[in-house]
Amino acid sequence: MLAKQWLDNAHGIMNKIEETQFENIKKAAEIMADSIEKERWVHTFGCGHATLPIQDMYPRIGGFVGFHPMLELPLTFFTNITKGMSVQNFVFLERVEGYGAEIMKGYRFHKDDCFWLFSHTGINAVNIDIALKVKEMGNKLIVFGSAAEAKGKETRHSSGKTLFDLADVVVDTCVPIQDASVSLKNHFDKIGPVSTMAFVTAVWMTVITTAEILADRGVKLYIHPSHNVPGDTTAKDRLEECLKVYKDRVEGV
């Protein structure tokens, strides 16, 4: 079955992340822990399917306060094939130089914030705009993507830089540049992408490592609880506490 082939491919990528990326994940988590310990933010940004790991991070069960999504609707809601916010619009917008700089104007940042960007290839202009602004501000930049496979790909930004060139820490998702991983009889293009699975795997390895570092430092985490455990009568109160802390902190963003 081709499903087994996809599963084998996914297992192989997860194993490669485990074998090669723990050191970089620890470096990224240290930076994130430094920001969160100071009650500042890990600002997260991506386009298209690279927004999915951001949406899985917080708010959700088992996540915790400290991660702030910078999600631009035209770069996130791209599933329309016709009419407004169509996939054609999205493909155009993520390549428009200057758009990322305008996105950054919508927020206020602090010197103790850090930034976590997601991109499979690291070559599109809007991500690089964001990264260049982060470097100009002097904040730390963490990038997740298929860094080794994307090496040598030509950037679409006039700076001549890719997203991976600008990062302080890169975590390689170890995904083939084509992303789709399974050949199909009588078809030229492959099916079965694996980049989302790799992003989410690397994200939770990193978020959990960040939590471990903060717990070892004695920092209280505001963890989004499960609402589904029978007999847990305090989950609603713990959730309200998390959301209050988030709202209080985000007022400064």
For tokens 């305008």, name the residue. Answer: 102
d(CA 42, CA 24): 17
Backbone torsion region of residue 48, taken as left when φ is above 0, otherwise alpha when ψ lies between -120 and 50, otherwise beta: left
Mean pLDDT of 137-147: 98
Question: What pLDDT, on the 0 to 100 scale, is given for residue 81?
Answer: 83
Helix 195-216 × helix 22-37 angle, to 10°: 50
Query: Listing from the earlier edge strand, what are the strands of the sheet with 140-145?
Result: 67-69, 42-46, 114-118, 140-145, 169-172
Mean pLDDT of 34-54: 97
Residue 252 has pLDDT above 70, yes or no: no
Residue 168 has pLDDT above 70, yes or no: yes
Residue 157 has pLDDT above 80, yes or no: yes
Question: What pLDDT, on the 0 to 100 scale, is given for residue 82?
Answer: 82
Q: What is the CA radius of gyration of the chain?
A: 19
Which residue stretches of the chain are H helix?
Answer: 2-20, 22-37, 52-55, 73-76, 87-93, 99-104, 125-137, 147-150, 163-166, 195-216, 235-250
Q: What percent of the chain has pLDDT over 90?
A: 89
pLDDT band at 85 (very low <50, low <70, confident <90, very high): confident
Residue 253 has pLDDT above 80, yes or no: no
Residue 173 has pLDDT above 90, yes or no: yes
Mean pLDDT of 82-89: 85
Mean pLDDT of 110-127: 97
Residue 226 has pLDDT above 70, yes or no: yes
Mean pLDDT of 16-20: 98
d(CA 92, CA 222): 39
d(CA 228, CA 107): 35
Question: What pLDDT, on the 0 to 100 scale, is given for residue 10?
Answer: 98
Across all residues in the chain, what is the average pLDDT? 95
46: nearest Cα among 125, 103, 114, 127: 127
Q: What percent of the chain has pLDDT over 70?
A: 99
